[in-house]
Structure 1
């Protein structure tokens, strides 16, 4: 019996909001503290480096998505342009990295919305709720993303206004604070901040659910990226100039702490609502993206075949979504927020390295952007990956090796059976 197919229901606006829901929520309330701890005010340079690398990756993803409008993102592109092993490494890196991102977003939501001591149970409940939203169809995912993005951007605007109104410490931007972490610290902050930009991948992984994907997906990726970059730049300056780099590094909620300096009694509630909404928006889109990549990998039997199923009524990869949700719940129970961000960045940087290599190989009508962008993106991914905190690098290498071993053993078993 033929499995039902995914349906093309999303337009340009839907795709942009899904990407924004991932990027705006994926780091704007969570990533400043570890980045400031690594680089001080130099995180602003790190943000610029992360944005340059991310733009190279975004254009590579857009170019590939136009040529291969299918589910799976760089997993599918790597297989088509470079071969099955490249595709597997990209897909596995994406799945493990984005499952860690899901855990980070669930924990961020709980940090802002849950009573003390209830953070992990609330994070688990959020994962279950948003998995159910995704289950009932991709148009519901897009509709929820629109609402969440509007709420979170409104809260950020209020928080930034409040922060700027509070004034600045005199020493927040000096040669000493900019160079506090040295070159290595700035690169490490860039690797951590890259976590914030990776949401455009969610658009590419939904290539079988977007109308006119060859036109819509490249445009949506670039539009969502540019909007997110502007938001991050403004928030970074507001947080650093209000609190100073040391206070940002030690804060568990730097955006809320910066806004609180204004003395406005109501601002804390607004920021917490916005942070909760942004985290939920990111989690919603992340679960959708991970499940689509897992679905594509299962279709090629690079993951267990039972994940290759589409719900007959709702037309979503429901088994892959349930498997992704189960893995996220496990991580929520085991990891902290900073560890999840570093591990996620490693997996996603590996994914985009493959995207840049695949886009570099494209020729003729498939080429839309300069080759230099793919070179910058590819080299940047490798540099940022190896300068992440060593714990994240070691954990990432181990988990990637486990995936490679699994595929090698599966292929060996298939050869023996033949």
Structure 2
């Protein structure tokens, strides 16, 4: 009888409700709290239409991710799918590190936001924000290291607080509905080009659904759970966004909302002046902390998955026998995140890596097209027609080109530098990858 001990694996403990909360929490974040104002500047009182169109555009890629998750429930997420579809280590490396860069810069940025808001909330004199940021990162890393169950419970708590914040806005603002023309735009008419331009901006409120693919290996019945979690969460998020947008422009005229630093805080101040101002500061802390948690989980599972594919050092693919988490990956990423946090303001870097996500979305959509046409590939529990990933890829590429052409030139430049660094690192490391087992 063999004395060999079976290698520990990730724990399958995520059920449908937990995955729904995970996906929803990834999208809600703190972005919607400021995005409503910027979108109102583009679309006027018709801002809710922008969210509707953006939801349709985002759902194309969301459906592709749902299909892929039901086919290949692996921790590598986009990197695994890209490797499976194209078998090109350089492309897989680039996709994986682009997603990782986006997640890690986001965590580092959010740690500073949490520190700033906690100082405002608790009014602690003489405490350096960097110490609170470091303490927050230690706490988040500890939760991720402790186990996927603990991470899911913390996410469910934070997501409930985020959703409650939006529900509060809706509850206090509903009596104001009807006091504004919800079809009024800056140009005076509803124009397709105007709505599409606004949808390009509001599309980014849906980013976060892609994180779900990286925890597929820890889901119970992923063939069913992944599609239900992604699609239902996207629909709920879109509904919340549209109702919040309609309420916001009803309480605060859209011209004022567009220039207000805290749009939803201003809505609450006018519709519910009796509510203490610290409430929204506290909600912001939960929202930002949740996004940081999910990005950390995503990055650790992506690192684990790429290590298992032979694209990163094998030690990063180890799983702790007790916690059943990729503990080496979690520890290695902690060092990187702390270094990014100590580097100072990396907001521009975080914005630039979001551009890389659009390219990743396009690549994943094309990979699904390739896999759908490959003989011998088993279908998943949730299949979509080929036009879904095809349109999804076109939409993402169009959004990327629009962002590069019309946005701040610094973000595309930084994104280009990050991409060049990823390619240079590939030449230094020279990972070859390992053949995939066809399941």
TM-score normalised per structure 2: 0.82
Question: Displacement of 1:315 after TM fit?
Answer: 1.2
Equivalent residue, structure 2, for 1:48: 52
* Partner in structure 1 of residue 386 of structure 2: 371
Separation in 2, partners of 1:122, 1:253: 23
Greater shift after overlay, 70-79 or 360-369? 360-369
Query: After superposition, what is the alpha-carbon deviation per residue over 1:195-247, rounded to whole angstroms, capped at 9, x for unaligned?
Result: 32122222210121111111211111111111111112222223333334444
1:16 is matched with 20
Offset at residue 164 of structure 1 (A): 4.4
Which stretch of structure 1 is more off in the superposition, 158-167 or 88-97? 158-167
**1:185 to partner: Cα distance:** 9.8
What is the alpha-carbon root mean square deviation over aligned residues? 3.3
Compute the TM-score of the two structures, normalised by the length of structure 1: 0.86
| One of 226, 231, 234 as aligned partner of 2:240 | 231
Greater shift, 115-124 or 321-330, is seen at: 115-124
The answer on whether the counterparts of 1:49 and 1:190 sit within 8 Å (CA) in structure 2 is: yes
Is the 8 Å Cα contact of residues 48 and 241 (structure 2) preserved in structure 1?
Answer: no
Matched, 1:349 2:358: yes
Number of aligned residue pairs: give it: 413
> Structure 1 residues 168, 215: CA separation in 2 closer, same or farther (over 3 Å shift)?
closer
Bigger Cα Rg: 2
- Partner of residue 144 from structure 1, selected from 154, 176, 183: 154
Deviation of 1:340 (Å): 5.6
Quick check: 1:88 aligned with 2:107? Answer: no
- The correspondence for 1:261, drawn from 254, 267, 270, is 270
* Distance in 1 between residues matched to 2:28 and 2:60, nearest whole Å: 19
Alpha-carbon deviation of 1:144? 1.3
Task: Select the residue among 58, 78, 83 that pairs with 1:79.
Answer: 83
Shift of 1:313: 1.8
Change (3 A) 1:83 1:251: farther
1:172/1:296 Cα in 2 relative to 1: closer, same or farther (>3 Å)? same
Q: Is the 8 A contact 2:103 2:299 kept in 1?
A: yes
Residue 436 of structure 2: aligned partner: none
What is the alpha-carbon distance in structure 2 between the residues aligned to residue 241 and residue 107 of structure 1? 33
Can you list the C-alpha shifts for 1:334-358, whole angstroms capped at 9, x where unaligned?
A: 5658636632421221221111001
Secondary structure of the structure 1 residue equivalent to 2:320: coil
Equivalent position of 1:129 in the other structure: 139
Q: Does 1:113 align with 2:109?
A: no
In the alignment, is the contact (CA less than 8 A) between 1:11 and 1:216 conserved in 2?
A: yes
Q: In structure 2, what is the equivalent of residue 243 of structure 1? A: 252
User: Secondary structure of 2:186's match?
Assistant: helix
Question: Which one of the candidate residues 145, 157, 162 is aligned to 2:167?
Answer: 157
* Structure 1 counterpart of 2:227, from 204, 214, 218: 218
Given that 2:349 and 2:414 are in contact with CA atoms closer than 8 Å, whether structure 1 keeps it comes out as: no
Distance 1:144 1:154 in 2: 15
Asked if structure 2 preserves the Cα contact closer than 8 Å seen for 1:34 and 1:249, the reply is yes
**Per residue, is there more helix in 1 or in 2?**
1
Tell me the equivalent position of 2:212. Answer: 203
Distance 1:335 1:192 in 2: 27
5+ residue gaps, structure 2, are 434-439
The one of 396, 399, 410 aligned to 2:429: 410
Distance 1:181 1:408, change over 3 A: farther
Closer, same or farther in 2 for the Cα pair 1:340/1:275, shift >3 Å?
A: farther
C-alpha displacement at 1:142, in angstroms?
Answer: 1.0
Cα separation, 1, equivalents of 2:152 and 2:392 = 29
Whole-Å Cα distance in 2 between the matches of residues 342 and 152 of structure 1? 22
Greater Cα shift, 54-63 or 368-377: 368-377
User: What is residue 25 of structure 1 aligned with on the other side?
Assistant: 29
* Cross-structure match for 2:437: none
